[in-house]
Amino acid sequence: MSKSNDTTHAVSDIELMAYLDGEAAGVEAELAAAALSADVDAQRKAEALGQMNDVVRSYLELEADSAEPQLDALWSRIEAGIAEPAPRAQAQVEAEAAPAPSRAAEPGIWARLSAWFEEQRGYFATGALAAAAAALLVVALRPPDVVERVVMVPQPPQQPENPTTLNPPSMVTVSTPPEVEILEVNDGAASVFTLPGEGEDDVTAGVIWLDLDDTELDNPL
């Protein structure tokens, strides 16, 4: 970079835009002009800003030309409205100029209440008839009274599914006669008798009767 570029003031984009739009003056304008003459980047920015200004100006001119007929018609209606007097304002002026009508004496509160009841009497009668008809309709459509009688029948206690596991029966003792499997008698005869008990608590007894010979035996059985 040359010595002259080192001493040149770096102009900002805002200052450059103000200089190009003619809004900069005095020292600001001199600094911006010096930057444009020495700084290549500032020259490129100025050229781009100039092109953008031309585009915007051309667009605004076209929009103004297309809106001119509409603006002319709008101004014509505004001028016509200003020229002729407003009928509403004139009517208001005439109403203010007319004398105020005299107010008649207002009726008292009882008179106003009587008049109101006279006007509403037809509505009251209609409402009363409608209420009576509704009450008759409710009575006619009401279901008859039903008397329900409930008879409680005692139920026997339910037995368990497996009573033997819950309430075991009492033990009953049954007497059985003795059984003799083997009976051998040497030199004699033997008889087996069963004697039943006399009562419910007595047990049945078994008796073996031996009829031996006269000879003595060491082991009769």
The answer, yes or no, to whether residue 51 has pLDDT greater than 50, is yes
| CA pair distance 129, 117, nearest whole angstrom | 17
The helix (run of H) or strand (run of E) holding residue 80 is: helix 40-83
Domain residue extents for the chain: 9-81, 108-140, 175-212
169-187 per-position pLDDT tens digit: 555 555 565 565 556 667 6
Contacts of residue 28, Cβ cutoff 8 Å, sequence gap at least 6: 15, 18, 19
| CA pair distance 67, 60, nearest whole angstrom | 10
Please report which confidence band the pLDDT of residue 3 belongs to, taking 50, 70 and 90 as the band edges.
very low
Structure token digits, residue 142: 């009401």
Please report which confidence band the pLDDT of residue 18 belongs to, taking 50, 70 and 90 as the band edges.
confident
CA angle 193, 198, 204 (to 5 degrees): 40
Q: What is the DSSP string of 166-221?
A: HSPPPP--------------SSEEEEEEEE--SSSSPPPEEEEEEEE-SS--S---
| pTM score, whole prediction | 0.28
